[in-house]
Amino acid sequence: MKMTATHERKSKGGLAIIKRRFVAGVTVPLLLYESLGIFVLGWAFVLIFFDYSSGRLGGPILGLGGSNPFVGLGHFIEMIKGTSVEANLFRVSLRNTLIFALAILPLNLAITLPLAWLLETIGIRFKSLYRTIYFLPVLTSSVGVALIWMSMYDSQAGWINAIIRFFGGTPVSWLSDPHAGFAGVSVAMWAVILAYLWQDYGYNMVIFIAALQGIPQELKDAALIDGASPWQVFLKITIPLIRPTMLFVCVMTMLSSFQVFDIIQVMTNGDPGNQTQVLMLDIYKNAFRYQNLGWAAAESFVLFLIVMGVTIFQMRVLRTNWEY
C-alpha cells in the first residue's frame, strides 16, 4: 500500500507526538520520583540542625523551632565531646562500624577471590553446581540467616557449643558474653561478622568469576610459556587485570558493611554491652524508637561523609587508566 505525501507527513507528525508523549510519560514520573527523593534528603539535612522529635508539635513551619529548637552544629559538637547517652552510643557505634567494615573487606576478599579462582579451574560439570551452592546464601533473607546462625551460636543448645563440649572444652556464650574476645574485638562481633560473611561472600565471588572469565587466555598462556608458575600468573597477570573489578567489589563491600543493620538487629540488637551496636542500628533506634530524629539525621550525615570519604579513597588507590 502506498501512502500519499500528506499521509506520510501526518504519519511522521503522529509518530513525533507519540515519541514526545512517551518521553514525557517516562521522564515526568521519574523527575517527580527523583524530586521526592531530593525532598527527603533535603528534609533530613534540615533536621540535622534541629533537636527535632515527631512527638512534639514544634513551630508553625514544618514543626521546626519552638519545642523542636534550632541547635546549629550542636549535634556534631555533642558527638565529639558530649557525655550524653546519645553521644556515648554514637562513639561506640562508630568504632564498632569501623571494626566491622575493616574486618569484613579483607576477609571477604580473602575468601571470594581464591574461591572464584578455584572454581574457574574445576570442570564445567561441577562449576555451575558449586557456583549455585555458594550463591544460595545471598538469596536468603538476612533475618533467616540471622536466625540460623543464632541457633548455631546458642550457648545451651547450639551445635557449636555441642562440639566444644564433645571435645571437653568450655562452652562460650557467643552472642552475650561481654568478656570473651579475640584480637581486641568481642566474640559477639566476630560471631556476627562470620554470619555476615557467610551470607555475603557468594555475591562477590560471582563478580570475580565474571572478571576472571574476561581475562584473555593468551596472556596467561604466554606467561606460562615464559616460565611463570601458576602462582606468579595469578599474582602478576590475574590480579592486575581484575583491578577494576576489585575496585567495584571493594567499594560495594565497604558500602554494604558500613550500612549493616538487619543481621545485627536480629542476632544481638547491639548487645552485649553495646559491643555490636553499629551506626545504622543506632540511627534506627534514635529515629524510630526514641523519636530523636534530629540526632539520627546528624548521625546519618556523618555516616554519609565517612562512606563518601572511604569510597573516594578506594577509587584513588585502585583506579586504572587502561583497558584490555
Partner 1 sequence: MMKRKIFALIVILAFVLSACGGGSTGGKTVVRMWTTANPAFNAGYESLISAYEAGHPNVDIQLETFDYELYLQTLQTAMPAKEEADILQLFGTWTSQYYERLAPVPAEVMTVEQARETFYGAPIGGFIVDGVLYGMPQEFNMEYGGVLVNRAKFEAAGLTYPPEWQSMDDVVDTAVLLTQKDAAGMMTTAGFHFTSADPTSFSFLAGIKQRGGDYWNADHTGFTFNTPEAHAQLQWMLDVVNAGVVDPVVFNDSTNFVIDAFFQGKVGIGYIGTWAIAEGQTNFPDFADKWDYVSLPSVQGDPVFVADSGWGLTVSPNSKYQDIAWDFVKFVIAVPENAGQWNIASGTIPAIPAVAESAEIAAAMPWVPKALSILPYGEYLGNMPDRDLVVYEIIYPHILNALQGVETVDEALQAIDTEANSTFR
Contacts with partner 1 by CB under 8 A lie at 51, 53-57, 63, 67, 82-86, 88-89, 155-156, 161, 164-165, 169-171, 173, 175-179, 268-269, 271-274, 285, 288-291, 293
**What cell does 252 get?**
560495594
CB atoms within 10 A of CB 264: 26
Give the shortest CB-48-to-partner 1 separation in angstroms: 16
CA distance 139 to 248: 20
Instruction: Confirm if 173 and 203 have CB atoms less than 8 A apart.
Output: no
Give the shortest CB-141-to-partner 1 separation in angstroms: 17
CA distance 31 to 125: 47
**What cell does 176 get?**
552475650
Closer residue to partner 1 (CB): 25 or 214: 25
CA distance 293 to 306: 20
Given 3-state DSSP classes, what are the helix, strand and coil percentages for the chain, each rounded to the nearest 5?
A: 70, 0, 25
In the chain, the amino acid numbered 90 is F
Closer residue to partner 1 (CB): 65 or 82: 82
Closer residue to partner 1 (CB): 249 or 280: 280
CB atoms within 10 A of CB 76: 16
Alpha-carbon distances of 309 from 184, 251, 253, 276, 316, rounded to whole Å: 25, 11, 15, 23, 11
Dihedral angle, C-alpha 221, 227, 231, 233, nearest 10 °: -40
Question: What's the count of helices (H) and strands (E) in the chain, helices before strands?
Answer: 14, 2
| String of DSSP letters for 63-107 | T-BTTB-B-TTHHHHHHHH--SHHHHHHHHHHHHHHHHHHHHHHH
Closer residue to partner 1 (CB): 162 or 315: 162
Instruction: Confirm if 235 and 139 have CB atoms less than 8 A apart.
Output: no
Instruction: Confirm if 295 and 286 have CB atoms less than 8 A apart.
Output: yes
Give the shortest CB-235-to-partner 1 separation in angstroms: 45
